[in-house]
Structure 1
Amino acid sequence: MHAMKNAFQTVALIGKYMNPEMREQILALARFLAERQIGIFIEEKTAEQSQIKGYTTVHINAIGAYADLAVVLGGDGTMLSVARSLVDYQIPLVGVNRGRFGFLTDITSESMCEAMSLILAGEYQTEQRILLSATVMRNGEPVHQGRALNDVVINKNGMARLIELEVHIDGQFVHRQRADGLILATPTGTTAYSLSAGGPILHPMLDAIALVPICPHTLSNRPIAISSHSKVEITVVQAPDVRMHLDGQMQFELQQGDRILVERAKKTVTLLHLLGHSHYDMLREKLNWG
């Protein structure tokens, strides 16, 4: 009788840095996987911060070459940075929630071993999430480029004055707005900062981008949703102190006259969920809907 083949042979474990409770969780999951003859890699910073020894460690950028599944233990912030690092490798991600909200990390730490055994048995569903690619053009030259799974945010830094932005979509002029800033959110990002700014919640399967003004001077300046295949160009018309944030984790100082080109990134991120996972159940739970 042959042992049943697992859906994944090698698994990388990535944990939230600087979190002392994380060590026991990672070790418990590593032991569980080892018992099932799964090859285990621990992301090197995770191993270092959690003082884990005895397992093969790999740099975050090398995980895609070694593992065929990555398990992310942490909150949505950890998942965002891991997703951006691994998107080019097309390696599926599973999220174990150790944060507060956990829109992306939907497996509880209490049920992680049980959930992993179902995933290894092939009992999971996949979901593709789009990213945005943002390029800053200055005097006709690209000066900065990055990707975001949640959102690209252009906002004022510390000054009380409003900033003025001009928006074109697919080469067509949309408006010139004076506001505290503008959020361009993927469907994933519509439950993050965009939601706080009054933006719509888009289902993750929608091929759309939400453009959400932050505290616009003209109250009729409303959020809009556009095709994710559109190309958006934002020009910084007037701004004494403005910057661009990607997923709230990376920032770049902008100057007057800069043009920010935002479009859908070529590759998507694959998230794995347990069978029966419902986006609406998750929204109801996280947002306390009745």
Structure 2
Amino acid sequence: MKIQKVGIIIKHDSPEPQRIGEEMVTWLAGQGILGVLDRITADMDILVILGGDGTLLHVADQASRLGIPVVGVNLGSLGFLTEFAVENRYEALENIISGQLAIEDRLMLKARLRNDRITTDWLYALNDVVVSKGSVDRLIKMETWADDEFIASYKADGLIFSTPTGSTAYNLSAGGPIIHPGMDSIMVTPICPFMLESRPVLLPSATKLSTRLAGRVNDVKVIVDGRPVWVMSSKDYLEVEVAEKTLRLVASSHKGYFEILRSKLNWGGRS
């Protein structure tokens, strides 16, 4: 793949990302490549994310729909997805230009809300779709189905539908397992369930999931990759399934998946 046009998306919480982004535009021009700040167009060959995982998640929907590969340069704190260190940014770009970096296809979810009156557009999620009780002052009950088969009524603070990529995010904090991103699957994890027997469930990627609120409940939030997008009531069904598109994520050839886990989660190494 010949690189001719690169989009650079920056995190707008300090002047530093802007400065680095402008420097990268100048560097790319020296390679005969057009760099464009803070814009995504279909003719771009690659997107460079300057920020943390949240910055990458913000553009994952659009990047996946357009099929543009994404490379994350970490200016945040954790950086599971933005795995390239900022001091290695030009080395990463050189490797991309020369075709030396691999591209991984990361499974995406899509979600929509429907009731008797409306059906929303599908929204894409790289990490997760979360039903959260928000300001509701009691546990909520969520009746949940896999295809046409009833799974369970979860009485909890909420419910997480997670991709393998998102298994190290909210799912992990809620007690769900880590899933290798090479697996095609969907994880359903209750948040602080009332019954300890309510355990996470791992489902095949072909599963079409749906959930609705039992009882008279309003003002429950649906959050897609960290963004509150809908308010859910007992009249609504939330539908979640695997999206047709994947996110094309540029991966480091120097680090394996478990090396990244050990580094980010402070797991012990060999004795």
Once residues 237 and 112 of structure 1 are traced to their aligned partners in structure 2, the CA distance between those partners, rounded to angstroms, is 49
Aligned-pair CA distance for 1:177: 1.5
Q: Percent identity?
A: 39
Q: Alignment RMSD, CA only?
A: 1.4
Q: Deviations over 1:34-89 (max 9, x none)?
A: 1111122222xxxxxxxxxxxxxxx43xx223x11111111000001111122111
Could you tell me which residue of structure 2 aligns to residue 230 of structure 1?
A: 207
Q: For 1:110, what is the secondary structure of its paired residue?
A: helix
**Alignment correspondent of 1:20:** 15
Alignment partners' CA distance in 2, 1:143 and 1:116: 38
3-state SS of the aligned residue for 1:221? coil
Question: What residue number does 2:253 align with?
Answer: 275
Aligned to 1:73: 50
Give ranges in structure 1 of 5+ residues lacking alignment. Answer: 1-5, 44-58
For residues 254 and 2 of structure 2, the distance between their equivalents in structure 1, rounded to whole angstroms, comes to 18
- 3-state DSSP of counterpart to 2:18: helix
Secondary structure at 1:64 match in 2: coil
Q: How does 1:130-141 map to 2 (within 5 A)?
A: 130-139=107-116, 141=118
What's the counterpart of residue 218 of structure 1? 195
DSSP-derived class of the 2:26 partner:
helix
Q: CA deviation at 1:144?
A: 5.4
Answer yes or no: is the 8 Å Cα contact 1:137–1:144 preserved in 2. Answer: no
Equivalents in 2 of 1:181, 1:109: separation in Å?
36
Cα 1:13–1:143 shift into 2, 3 Å: closer
CA distance in 2: counterparts of 1:128 and 1:85, whole angstroms: 15
Give the aligned partner of residue 34 of structure 1. 29
Partner amino acid, structure 2, of 1:139? D
Deviation at 1:140, TM superposition (A): 6.1
Alpha-carbon distance in structure 2 between the residues aligned to 1:28 and 1:143: 41
The answer to whether the 8 A contact 2:110-2:125 is kept is: yes
Q: Which residue of 1 aligns with 2:127?
A: 150
Question: Contact 2:221–2:228 at 8 Å: present in 1 too?
Answer: no
* Counterpart in the other structure of 1:245: 223
C-alpha distance in 2 between matches for 1:242 and 1:144: 19
2:259 matched to 1:266? no
Deviations 1:96-140 (A, max 9, x none): 001111010011001101121111111101101111111111126
Q: Distance in 1 between matches of 2:14 and 2:122?
A: 30
User: CA–CA distance in 2 between the matches of 1:103 and 1:164?
Assistant: 32
Q: Give the match for residue 42 of structure 2.
A: 64
Q: Following the alignment from structure 1 to structure 2, what is the Cα–Cα distance between the partners of residues 289 and 38?
A: 40
| Number of matched pairs | 267
Q: 1:118–1:274: 8 Å Cα contact kept in structure 2? A: no
C-alpha distance in 1, partners of 2:171/2:51? 22
- In the other structure, the counterpart of 2:3 is 8
Q: Is the 8 A contact 1:153 1:245 kept in 2?
A: yes
Query: Normalising by the residue count of structure 1, what TM-score does the alignment of the two structures yield?
Result: 0.88
Give the Å deviation of 1:31. 2.0
CA contact (8 A) 1:150 1:189 kept: yes
* Runs (5+) with no aligned partner, structure 2: none
Distance 2:95 2:2 in 1: 10
SS at the partner of 2:196? coil
Q: Separation in 1 of the partners of 2:93 and 2:122?
A: 36
Q: Deviations over 1:158-211 (max 9, x none)?
A: 122110110110110111121111000011111111111001111111101110
